[in-house]
A and B are shown apart, each in its own frame.
Chain A
Amino acid sequence: MKKVTPISVFACLFISVLLSAISTSAQNIKPDADNAGLTLPTGFAALKVADNVGRTRHIAVNKQGAIYAKLERLDNGKGIVVLKDTDGDGRAETKTSFANYIGTGIAIKGNYLYAASNKEVFKYALNENGDIVDENAAATIVTGLIDKGQHNSKSITLDNAGNIYVNIGAPSNACQEKDRTKGSMGMMPCPILDSAGGIWQFKVDQFNQSYANGVRYATGLRNVVGLDWNNQLNQLFVTQHGRDMLNNLYPEIYDTTLSAELPSETMYAINKGDNAGWPYVYYDHSKGKKMMAPEYGGDGKKTVEDKFINPAMAFPAHMAPNGLLFYTGNQFPARYKNGAFIAFHGSWNRSPLPQEGYYVVFVPYENGKPTGKWEVFANGFSGKTVVKNPRDAQHRPCGLAEGPDGSLYVSDDVKGTIYRIMYQK
């Protein structure tokens, strides 16, 4: 019999601790038999972490794997739901809620949770278990942002230098004198851009900041809902909802098919001071050009070559990119690392053509640049082969988050289903 050294005993203990941790990781979690109704690439599986959570917009996952979901409609008077898997089966056993405001944006950075209403951004301290220290001790870091109903959701992300980025959507389609009205010209310059239609930067450690304290970090962005700080490139990326109703407003230039396919939905790599050109231009992915908007003298042919930034990636029109996430985990195969996932909420203004979107897309990156090709990663949220009318969609993907084990979480703001997507060899 070999002599058992204290070191080998220690090593055995260490290994068994490791094993117990692994036992609750994605490899051993049983997915739903139907993969939660989703169609996924080979090797991936999915389950419903929770159902009927409320209208969950964006989500954040802490280091312990608990999910914080921001609701756009109060549920029992509360606007943030906390979901915990207490037995390691991947499904949430406990659901608690707090905060008395609705909204979209939510993020965790360091030991703080940040959450946005449609006008403000709040900050909560987290303890060593990733729990909120005091639900009633929300610090208001940003206040007084524009909320006029249209495009009022505020999305947030944080960099590594103490800044938070907030989207302020333009309460307008194309900055016409009369919104969405045929024959009404675009205002020049567009006055909306002073306080909306861009990304504003604020400090995470200052309170009650508003326009006077913030920096208009990027402008000419009609309505950004997905935004994420890319830690590999140390750069802000955003996804914009392009303008609507080209056919209704300019039927002599755009027929219903062109209007369904234009303009592109766009993803931008943002540097401080960038201008993406809304409302003066829109992007046409079939031409690979920035086009002059008809409200500002465009005729469907006039391009704008300079002045405004080009998108890093363009997608078919109206699909509504609501969630953006750069994947940093090791669970998925290597090609997914540092690539972008985008949750497309799904279109409404492509009729009479069928609607499009209602899925999660993957954009592969190589050497810090998108390869130019995107692919549908997770489909089937709507429960329909073809969505003719938006109300037929059973679920609509909205928010994305990465778990500590590299699982991808997706929220749905119709029924409040939280999906977990895992790679299982």
Chain B
Amino acid sequence: MQRIILAVVVGMISFSAVTAQTNNKLVAASIARGKTVYLQRCMVCHQADGGGVPKLNAPLDASTAVNGSDISKLVKYIVKGLNDRIEIDGEFYANAMPAADDLKDQQIADVLTFIRSNWSNKAGPVTLTQVKQIRSKLK
């Protein structure tokens, strides 16, 4: 009996190690795809270092909005754009952000996963399921 329990425990551990590994690989792939989207669509304003442009375009690096647990706003900014002058971390940013509603759900998940894990950001990945759910409520 003890042997069986041991075998089950060992099996569970190795299974979760494998899923963690698979998960890491999936996240790494998402980050890589997200980087491509970032370079094409976001970098011109938000900059290569994610620092944005003082007073014009909001920084993504070290931003509380980007690193927060509520990702619905982030998805909304990408899909709907932003036309109002916005205040983030006590600073105002004047430029309009165009809507990127041509991006697929997966691309939005990827670019957000890239942004939230890049530079000094250490927030968790954003999944396709999360983006789908948030986006469906936006329409």
Contact = CB atoms under 8 A, between A and B. Distances in A.
Nearest to A346: B53
Contact of B48 (A151, A152, A244, A388): A388
Interface residues of A, number: 26
A181 B94 contact: no
Contacts of B47: 348, 351, 389-391
B96 A179 contact: yes
A39 interface: no
Contacts of B59: 391
Interface centre among A149, A178, A392 (most CB of B within 10 A): A149
Interface string A354-397: 00000000000000000000000000000000001111100000
A144 to B, nearest CB: 19
Contacts of B51: 389-392
A181 B95 CA distance: 12
Interface stretch (B66-74, B78-86, B105-113): B78-86
A271 interface: no
Contacts of B57: 348
A180 B57 CA distance: 13
A195 interface: no
B81 A389 contact: no
Interface string A319-360: 000000000000000000000000000001101100000000
B53 A348 contact: yes
Interface in B28-77: 39, 41, 43-45, 47-49, 51-57, 59
A351 B41 CA distance: 12
Nearest to B98: A181
B99 A352 contact: no
Contacts of B95: 150, 180
Contacts of B55: 72
B133 to A, nearest CB: 25
Contacts, number: 68
Give the interface SS of chain B, mostly helix, strand, loop or mixed. loop
B97 interface: yes
Interface string A71-100: 010000000000000000000000000000
Interface string A388-415: 1111100000000000000000000010
Listed residue (B47, B48, B51, B99) with the most chain A CB atoms within 10 angstroms of its CB = B47
Contacts of A392: 49, 51
Nearest to A256: B44
B81 A349 contact: no
B98 A351 contact: no
Interface size bracket, B side:
20 to 34
Contacts of A148: 85
A72 B55 CA distance: 10
A352 B94 contact: no
Contacts of A391: 47, 49, 51-54, 59
A148 B84 CA distance: 8
Contacts of B41: 248
A245 interface: yes
Contact of A152 (B43, B45, B83, B94): B94
B94 A150 contact: yes
A320 to B, nearest CB: 10
B48 A351 contact: yes
A149 B84 contact: yes
A149 B43 contact: no
A392 B102 CA distance: 32
B121 to A, nearest CB: 15
Given A351-B44, A351-B47, A391-B59, A179 B83 contact: yes
B48 A349 contact: no
Given A149-B84, A248-B41, A390-B47, A414 B54 contact: yes
Contacts of B53: 348, 390-391
13 contacts: A149-B92, A150-B95, A178-B81, A180-B97, A181-B81, A182-B102, A244-B44, A247-B44, A248-B41, A348-B47, A351-B47, A352-B48, A388-B48
Given A178-B98, A182-B98, 20 more contacts: A173-B96, A178-B99, A179-B83, A179-B98, A180-B96, A181-B99, A348-B53, A348-B57, A349-B45, A351-B44, A388-B49, A389-B49, A389-B51, A390-B52, A390-B53, A391-B49, A391-B51, A391-B52, A391-B53, A392-B49
* Shortest 9 CB-CB contacts between residues of A and residues of B: A149-B85, A391-B51, A181-B98, A348-B53, A149-B94, A179-B96, A389-B49, A180-B98, A389-B47
